[in-house]
Structure 1
Amino acid sequence: MTNPPEATPRESTPPTDAPDALDAGTFERIVEPRSEARLPLGDGTWHQLARAYVWVQMISTGSVAVLVLAAALVLQIWLDQTWVWIPAGIILALCVWSLAITPRQARSYGYQLRRDDLVFRRGILWQRMVAVPYGRMQLVDITHGPLDRGFGIAQLKLVTAAASTGVTIPGLKQAAAESLRDTLVAVAETRRTGL
């Protein structure tokens, strides 16, 4: 069985109300793993996360590290509990590791709007690529926390009937999330399935 030829990028992308909104303030290109066995990007236009996503993740992780360090110091000084440095050290090491890989990890996220589905990819070491058919989408949800709102970003969640194919795209600019939501709803309405 042969696969149908890939559509050209112009034909494969559903129309959006504000195409520039998807790429405003984002990274320039997706960072790919160096291995020959990596998942290929394929053709088409890949959209990426907002640069502010890195700052939100760094502030969140840094806050956790500061709280763990403060709790460990309080337990050490006032209660003379030296054992607390074992779990605190593990948590602090994980926070430092997370701070170190966050910028590269954020550049590995990307999504592509094709004629029949949305493709989402992420990961450098553990790569994941998911194609969500427009007709299978049941819900498109935008959420953002206080720190996200401060940096003007949001998270878009696509819910399908199968839990394993649900996709969450973090770190989208607010305008990009709203434009993408409207596009996905419009495309799903034309298919008369999903949403």
Structure 2
Amino acid sequence: MGNLITVAVLSLPLAFVLLGWWRWPPVWFAIAVPAFILVLALWRLVLIPRQVRAIGYAERDDDLLIRGGIFFQRVMVVPYGRMQYVDISAGPVERSLGLCTVKLHTASAGTNATIPGLPTAEGARLREQLSARGEARLAGL
């Protein structure tokens, strides 16, 4: 929806030039900008479903495996004993769609372990499960 609004707003100079109300920008420029934004929006429509399919996680016995990325694929293994806390966040768009993002925090600042786009109930279940497993592994150290 936002892409359509952007294309419509950026097409206004083209409409003004074609109606003769405005002499600048040149016609080619007034055509090129909305065309570029439209091509970019179509590319995102093709790319977003692939990005969603690339996100995944697996709860294993000793750790959590998280994968993501299309061009630059990343596989991260987070041991349960290293988790300090598990956070759930949901912005306004995620809340309206019934989704959330689970964030895992470890002692390492470089750990960017997030699982986006989970249903809210699954996110809450995963948070409780990971917290329980993290406490059990930490107590066993």
- TM-score under structure 1 length normalisation: 0.58
CA RMSD of aligned residues (A): 2.3
Alignment partner, residue 25 of structure 2: 81
1:69 and 2:69 are equivalent in the alignment: no
Equivalent pair of 2:88/2:103 in contact (CA under 8 Å): yes
Structure 1 position 110, deviation (Å): 1.0
- TM-score under structure 2 length normalisation: 0.77
> How do 1:34-113 and structure 2 match up within 5 A?
63-78=1-16, 80-82=24-26, 83=29, 85-113=31-59
For residues 74-132 of structure 1, the C-alpha deviation after alignment (integer angstroms, 9 at most, x for no partner) is 34445543535545443332221111122233122210011221101123432111111
Alignment partner, residue 168 of structure 1: 114
Q: Distance in 2 between matches of 1:192 and 1:169?
A: 22
- The letter of the residue matching 1:71 is V
- The alignment of Structure 1 onto Structure 2 pairs a total of residues equal to 131
Equivalent pair of 1:153/1:172 in contact (CA under 8 Å): yes
Q: Percent identity?
A: 40
Q: Distance in 1 between matches of 2:113 and 2:72?
A: 16
Equivalent pair of 2:11/2:34 in contact (CA under 8 Å): no
Structure 1 position 187, deviation (Å): 1.1
Q: Unaligned 5+ residue runs, structure 2? A: 17-21
Alignment partner of 1:123 out of 69, 75, 81: 69
The structure showing larger relative contact order (alpha-carbon pairs under 8 Å, at least 6 residues apart) is 1
Equivalent pair of 2:7/2:37 in contact (CA under 8 Å): no
Q: 1:162 to 1:90 in 2, by over 3 A?
A: farther
Give secondary structure in 1 for the equivalent of 2:71: coil
Alignment partner, residue 33 of structure 1: none
Name the one with the larger strand percent.
2
Name the one with the larger helix percent.
2
Larger radius of gyration: 2
